[in-house]
Structure 1
Amino acid sequence: MPISRAAAQATLRLGAVALAGALLAACGSGSSGSSKSSADGGKVTLTVDLFGTFGFKEAGLYAEYEKAHPHITIKESSTENEADYWKALQTRLAGGGGLADVQGIEVGRIASVTQQQADKFQDLNSFGAASLKNDYSAAKWAAATTTDGRTLGLGTDVGPEAICYRTDLFEKAGLPTDRDELAKKWATWDGYLELGKQYQAEADSKSHWMDSVGSLYSLMMGQQKERYYDASGKLVYQDNQAVKTAWDTSVKAAQDGLSAKLAQWTPAWNQAFSSGSFATIGCPAWMLGYIKGQAGDGGAGTWDVAPLPGGVAGNWGGSYLAVPKGASHAKEAYELIKWLTAAPQQAKLFEKQGSFPSNLGAIKEVEDVKDAYFSNAPIGEIFGKAAESSPVQVLGVHDNDVNTQITNALGEVERKGTSSATAWGHAEKGVRNAVG
């Protein structure tokens, strides 16, 4: 997702998609997990509620599933901003109605689901999910499993990170465009920002090095095993040196004028993918599909992908598919998510949309994939290596909330000129309000 793909995730999952409330209220108001076929000859309409661009519809997977299961019709609703999606989902879970048969869960929310909301979701093991455990990495499976062994979601993608960049804008600014050469020049974050200063000195005044410093911050934090919580579940973001380093680096980038000052997941940000307002963007694998959707056919061949600065790969986003206890068609919903997350479908999704698989069989299958849209970049190799070396992150129940408050505060720095100290104070206040 994503940036679930939250943001992608998000929404890619980094990172994000808008609830069709009336549809969900009409189709997903069951109060139990029992499976109910409609009166129309046993036909079933499965509702799927997501955020960001998961890519199932775009890759033709829904159509393929419906063809193989003529009694099934799939209707997807989506919310572009994962935070808006999560807020609406909490309202529906609290009321017990209006839920879809399938709900997407961003990785930054999965600890909240397993630790605080397990009673709101189906234990997928009751449908046979335990047999799928070895299809995933131990960390991906464990994150969606409660301490008493209930499995509450099946993994879709993960978010290994890279940098996506506009080769045409680089050429105009006199910068190299070869991905291997760039990887050497921005082997460190200082190198990445120094190249940004060179770009800024030569580029059109309406074009900037990066889309937002919030994106830069999220990339850097994706490289950390421990971010906002420690392994005991204690909130530690205020004392984490990695958070301070990412914050200070992002503030400096804003002060140096390297950002286009675009809030992610907004209409202006979406338009900027094709307008040339920024030359580079933090690019978890799921962002590839988002770029294609926003830049369109005209962007083909103007984008490329290079490994992440900083000397270590990172992860930003990734998602799960879950079945709430309010689902009208729980058994059919499980069969759908089992199929969507199986190796052949995850491999196809990566080839068409860029969502990097969490299914181990699919990861092996896509290692040689290249993407013509991104200048024939070896995305299977780039993201595969990133996934192998990404840290297994410690996730807390309010992981996404903390990240959102910090990136919102960074937005104040770049768009309003708020001082670093004042903005950080706003972030701390926001975290206190969100966490309670």
Structure 2
Amino acid sequence: MPRARAAVRLGAVVVAGVLIAACGSGGSGGSDDAGGDITLTVDLFGSFGYQEAGLYAAYEASHPGVKIKQTDTEDEQDYWKSLQTRLAGGAGLADVQAVEVGRIASVTSQQADKFEDLNQHGAASLKSSFAAAKWSAATTGDGRVLGLGTDVGPEAMCYRTDLLRQAGLPTDRATLAQRWSTWDGYLELGRQYRAKAPAKSAWLDSVGSLFTVMIGQEKERYYNASGDLVYDSNPAVKTAWDTSVRAARDGLSAKLDQWSPQWNQAFAAGSFATLPCPAWMLGYIKGQAGDSGKGKWDVAKLPGGAGNWGGSYLTVPRAAKHKKEAYQLIAWLTAPEQQAKLFRKQGNFPSSTGAIDAIADATDPYFSGAPIGQIFGEAAKAAPVQVLGVHDKNVADQITNALSEVERKGTAPDKAWSNARKGVANATG
């Protein structure tokens, strides 16, 4: 799971927390917990939906003596900083650590010595089960496999049918897909919404989410295929920036920082009518909007064509206590059967090719019966294979932070862009 899954692949209400050092000390793999039982520690950002979908319980039932303890940190940036500290010290690491797709190039190129080569545990036999791009992104130049793919983030547009209806706008997903087939069309519909919107309701949550989903439609974003940092000369980045600035100036945003407590509360309050949403966002919406949101949400195709936002990997640190058993767990969690179940229950779109075929007919009653298997499946097939750079996530964070300055503080776009460039320079060294 943006995720914040963003990075965040996200199920029910997230419980923030930081893994304490006692959860995983450095050492060799083995079954040396008290009484011969094993407690496998899993550290995530956000919720990947494993608990909510019953996967941990199923694994424990089929593996007597194994218990799974999960901790998670809601904000991926906080999670990553904590993980870097623990990797540097070689202690306090869980048996399983999640890595967001925007960080995986950093892992394979700069931190490969900190993670297990999963080929040593049999991962090579799983290669054909995953989408080629998903597998290759976690593979080093010399062939070491450092993570198994969880989900990918094909994009769509989630929207509140009740709020659109109150503003006199259509709610049919096919009609909306036609009306907002372009991003200009999406902003125009937003201006129409603003004119008749219910009290305290905006068109979208934040212009940062708009930028993120737009840039997810591009093959090259922040780096080119040669590994050069090109964000400041890439026309696609400029287009996404200018469109997001226009949305802010037109007053279409609720000015909510994603993953903040205020943003979480806004789902139930009806503070925004549309939300650019990768598949993993479905579970997050359910968790935040709760039962009262069932049937009020729907899903339509994304403006401007298909794209991808997010996706993650499960890794085993070299300093993990139970490396062998941790690998067995992540191989099971990312197997086609579990990925298909997770999508049907939480919305996390599979990276397993077998699971993708299995969920093609999926619908979701929470989202007004939307054919989510078809919508996200078509988006996944059409989405570009993206070039990932070493500091992909850092660049994205600096730009969305700058956009937040524009929408919340009224900072001039040129000044905000200059701030973003300075932030990128500091973050990338």
TM-score of the aligned structures, taking structure 2 as reference length: 0.98
Aligned to 1:405: 398
Is there any run of 5+ residues in structure 2 with no aligned partner, and where?
none
2:327 maps to 1:329: no
Counterparts of 1:410 and 1:386, CA distance in 2: 26
Shift of 1:42: 1.5
State the secondary structure of the residue aligned to 1:239.
coil
Aligned to 1:280: 274
Equivalent of residue 83 in structure 2, options 85, 89, 114 = 89
2:8 maps to 1:4: no
Q: How does 1:32-431 map to 2 (within 5 A)?
A: 34-310=28-304, 312-431=305-424
Shift of 1:207: 0.4
- C-alpha distance after superposition, 1:31-64 (max 9, x if no partner): 4xx3122343320000000012210011000000
Contact 1:17 1:51 survives alignment (8 Å): no
Contact 1:10 1:316 survives alignment (8 Å): no
Shift of 1:11: 4.4
Counterparts of 1:272 and 1:21, CA distance in 2: 28
Shift of 1:366: 0.1
Contact 2:9 2:348 survives alignment (8 Å): no
Counterparts of 1:42 and 1:229, CA distance in 2: 48
Contact 1:30 1:97 survives alignment (8 Å): yes
Relative to structure 1, is the Cα distance of residues 301 and 151 closer, same or farther in structure 2, using a 3 angstrom cutoff? same
The aligned amino acid for 1:392 is: V
Counterparts of 1:225 and 1:140, CA distance in 2: 14
2:18 maps to 1:20: yes
Over 6 Å off, 4+ runs: none
Relative to structure 1, is the Cα distance of residues 138 and 316 closer, same or farther in structure 2, using a 3 angstrom cutoff? same
Shift of 1:286: 0.2
The aligned amino acid for 2:203 is: W
Contact 1:48 1:101 survives alignment (8 Å): yes
Counterparts of 2:155 and 2:89, CA distance in 1: 37
State the secondary structure of the residue aligned to 1:41.
helix
Contact 1:356 1:383 survives alignment (8 Å): yes
The aligned amino acid for 1:259 is: S
TM-score of the aligned structures, taking structure 1 as reference length: 0.96
Counterparts of 2:17 and 2:90, CA distance in 1: 16
CA RMSD, 1 decimal: 1.1
Contact 1:12 1:317 survives alignment (8 Å): no
State the secondary structure of the residue aligned to 1:20.
coil
Shift of 1:10: 2.8
Contact 1:251 1:410 survives alignment (8 Å): yes
Equivalent of residue 433 in structure 1, options 415, 426, 429 = 426
Shift of 1:27: 2.3
Contact 1:53 1:289 survives alignment (8 Å): no
The aligned amino acid for 1:20 is: V
Contact 2:19 2:72 survives alignment (8 Å): no
Counterparts of 1:17 and 1:157, CA distance in 2: 21
Aligned residues: 427
Relative to structure 1, is the Cα distance of residues 169 and 297 closer, same or farther in structure 2, using a 3 angstrom cutoff? same
Shift of 1:246: 0.3
The aligned amino acid for 1:90 is: Q
State the secondary structure of the residue aligned to 2:36.
coil
The aligned amino acid for 2:3 is: S
- C-alpha distance after superposition, 1:246-271 (max 9, x if no partner): 00000000000000000000000000
2:25 maps to 1:29: yes
State the secondary structure of the residue aligned to 2:401.
helix
